[in-house]
Amino acid sequence: MDTYNNPNNLVLEDRYELIDVIGEGGMAMVYRALDRRLNRYVAVKIMRPEMAQEAEFRQRFFAESHAVAMLSSPNIVAVYDVSHSADIEYIVMELVDGITLKHYMERKGPIPWREAVYFAKQIARALAHAHAKGVVHRDIKPQNMLLLRDGTLKVGDFGIAALENEVAEESGTAVGSIHYIAPEQIRGESPDARSDLYSLGVVMYEMLTGQKPYNGDTVGEIAVKHMNTDPVPPTKLVPDIPPELEHITLKAMNANIFERYQSAEEIIRDLDRFAIIQTQQEDEAEVVAMETPSVVPVRSVSEMSKEKFRRRKRRSTRVSFLSGTFGVLVVALFLVFYLLHNFLQDYFPDKGSEDRSAGHMLMPNFLGMSVDQILSNPENSVFDFEIVYLNSSGGDQINPSEYTVERQDPGVDTRVALKSGGTPVTLYVSTSVTQVPDVYNMDYRDATAVLRVSGYYVELIDELSETVPRNTVLAMSPAAGTPLEKGSWIYLTVSAGPETEYVSMPNLVGLSETAAINKIEEAELSYGGSEYVTSDLPAGTVIGQSEGSYNLIAAHSKVILRVSTGPEGA
């Protein structure tokens, strides 16, 4: 079958009509094809005939394809169908209309931090989903990522790209992946989820700087640098890169596998937290630069710096209460607010002064302003203000500079009549300085929710405890009852329970059921039974596992296998 030279009019299984070649790798060719049954265009990857003759590659290609077909993420190129026969091996995938991230980076050069974080989070979400299903990519690089017109990024070739590179290496072809490969892969060790995170760190480095961290005249020279050389800090190449983002990037690509991020969720949390804090800082800087009158925030002397607190703890893990979606919304809302209030306001009349000569006006916007700001402005002398303090007891000593407007009546842009004694306006105000709630001995999830509602950021620090139940708050800083400004950080020390022994979950997909059970027991885990399902794989082949490959799980945990019973009707 001369599929490779003349694909026109070739139809696979009376369904997939091959149209033209759109890519090729060391072990397969990729075609644009029409799915006649669903009337949609797809990508079909067909294993080269010379590779299909190798039983080991056929088995691995098919097993990996089935594993990837279980993935379902908006940031992963979807696998629709897998075919396994004596004549041809192919997989049918989503046809993505876009360009590779590599192509985008080559055209644009260094990418601004917001854009780089946006792409990095999409890659990390794809990795988090795949790793949870036991699938490791093993070849994360810009060439394997497709960028759509709407900014969505999709990672392709999960579990398959590395096999193609093995073929390229055996044939003596230069492998572009050497620039992104993790040190443990270079040493011949089995890659795991953390290896993908190293490669993600390298991609982030290249996005931010426009350069790869390691270059050399030979593959061997580059490999040695991955294992033994620290990269040039990104800020030395592009000074505008925020230092915290540089820290995240370098931690992701740490050569020591135990000192880099241990899961994709960890890097997503740090990226979310960084984006929120960086946006707030830039927001404050813009306000200062524009010399906009503002109230200096009152901070408690009891608020402890993070570095000081970290030095008192040996083990910490950081969790932001805000999700990635909220972080994106914060950035978007800030941009909209900035544009409206700094660029578009010149195109619209001052509503507060509109038609005053006729005895009417539109109510100004007092929301977010301090009581001092409002009362000290001469233009507001036409109003008779009633101030309602929402979170102040009768005995409190009120400082108007600490109170800002949460609600106003009449509302913004309401048309009101001007009165000789002053137009009545009610302002509902609250203070940004409140007392820290007491969450001691609470479950950390409930405690985080309480502090979140109170307007604080939360950082969790794990600490082993033989007596206090797991997930219980052991201590908090600042202490409960401390006056503290909203938006400050509160540190909760949380019981991690007694010390637990963890082991690495082996990859069992593609093994026989007996071999998988033996491997489970060798890893100090417990076999929890098998679920038998029909599939195109030979009967007795493991096609899934209850725990993700290479994840660290408690020793003696039960692992359940999904085992093929062979094709239906066989």
Q: Are 117 and 203 spatial neighbours (Cβ–Cβ below 8 Å)?
A: no
Strand pairing class (457-463; 502-504): unpaired
For the domain that residue 465 is a member of, what is the CATH number?
A: 3.30.10.20
Among candidates 222, 247, 225, which has minimal Cα distance to 234? 247
120 lies in the same domain as 155: yes
Please indicate, yes or no, whether the overall pTM of this predicted structure exceeds 0.75: no
pLDDT given for residue 570 in this prediction = 61
From residue 67, give the alpha-carbon distance in Å to each of 14, 182, 320, 445: 25, 23, 32, 33
The rounded distance, in Å, linking the Cα atoms of 63 and 536 is 10
The rounded distance, in Å, linking the Cα atoms of 173 and 6 is 25
Domain boundary among 445, 463, 495: 495
Tokens 């899961």 belong to which residue? Answer: 263
172 lies in the same domain as 153: yes
Continuous H helices in 323-443: 324-342, 371-376
Residue 343 forms part of a structural domain: no
Strand pairing class (542-545; 558-564): antiparallel
Q: Is 39 helix (H, G, I), strand (E, B) or coil?
A: coil
Q: Are 227 and 253 spatial neighbours (Cβ–Cβ below 8 Å)?
A: no
For the domain that residue 7 is a member of, what is the CATH number?
A: 3.30.200.20
The rounded distance, in Å, linking the Cα atoms of 370 and 403 is 5
Q: Are 93 and 45 spatial neighbours (Cβ–Cβ below 8 Å)?
A: yes
Residue 570 forms part of a structural domain: no
Strand pairing class (360-362; 415-417): antiparallel
How many domains does one find in the chain? 5
Buried-state track 23-43, b at ≥16 Cβ within 10 A, e below 16: eebbbbbbbbbbbeeeeeebb
In tens digits, the chain (570 residues) has pLDDT values of 454 455 556 888 888 999 888 877 667 788 999 998 888 899 998 887 777 677 766 776 776 677 777 788 889 998 888 886 667 788 898 888 888 899 999 888 899 999 999 999 999 999 998 888 878 888 899 988 999 888 889 998 775 654 444 444 444 333 447 899 899 888 877 788 899 999 999 999 999 999 999 988 888 888 889 988 889 999 999 999 999 999 999 999 999 998 999 999 999 999 998 988 888 777 666 655 554 444 333 343 344 445 444 544 544 444 444 445 455 565 555 554 554 444 444 433 444 444 555 577 888 888 878 788 888 888 888 899 998 877 654 445 566 666 778 788 888 778 888 888 888 999 888 776 778 899 999 988 888 888 887 778 888 888 888 888 888 999 999 888 887 777 788 999 998 877 777 788 888 988 999 999 999 989 889 998 998 988 888 899 998 898 887 777 888 888 999 998 988 766
pLDDT given for residue 288 in this prediction = 58
63 lies in the same domain as 143: no
245 lies in the same domain as 101: yes
pLDDT given for residue 203 in this prediction = 97
pLDDT given for residue 176 in this prediction = 42
One-letter amino acid of 250: L
Give the DSSP letter of residue 443.
Answer: B
Domain boundary among 61, 95, 129: 95
The rounded distance, in Å, linking the Cα atoms of 390 and 368 is 14
408 lies in the same domain as 427: yes
Give the DSSP letter of residue 76.
Answer: B
CA-based torsion, 248, 249, 252, 253: positive or negative = negative
86 lies in the same domain as 109: no
Residue 569 forms part of a structural domain: no
Domain span at residue 49?
1-95
Tokens 């309401």 belong to which residue? Answer: 414
Question: Can you give the three-state secondary structure of 492-524, one letter per residue?
Answer: EEEECCCCCCEEECCCCCCCEHHHHHHHHHHCC
Continuous H helices in 290-435: 306-311, 324-342, 371-376
Tokens 């091959």 belong to which residue? Answer: 18
Residue 338 forms part of a structural domain: no
87 lies in the same domain as 108: no
The rounded distance, in Å, linking the Cα atoms of 149 and 151 is 6
Strand pairing class (89-94; 79-84): antiparallel
For the domain that residue 176 is a member of, what is the CATH number?
A: 1.10.510.10
203 lies in the same domain as 236: yes
154 lies in the same domain as 170: yes
Q: Is 165 helix (H, G, I), strand (E, B) or coil?
A: helix
End-to-end CA distance of the chain: 27
72 lies in the same domain as 213: no
129 lies in the same domain as 19: no
The angle formed by the CA atoms of residues 160, 163 and 167, to the nearest 5 degrees, is 140
Measure CA 503 to chain center: 26
Residue 394 forms part of a structural domain: yes
Question: Can you give the three-state secondary structure of 222-263, one letter per residue?
Answer: HHHHHHHCCCCCHHHHCCCCCHHHHHHHHHHCCCCCCCCCCC
pLDDT given for residue 395 in this prediction = 45
Among candidates 87, 53, 45, 93, which has minimal Cα distance to 69? 93
Catalytic annotation, pick one of 87, 97, 139, 536: 139
| Rounded (10°) angle between helices 324-342 and 113-132 | 160
Residue 339 forms part of a structural domain: no
346 is catalytic: no
Domain boundary among 403, 431, 459: 431
324 lies in the same domain as 420: no
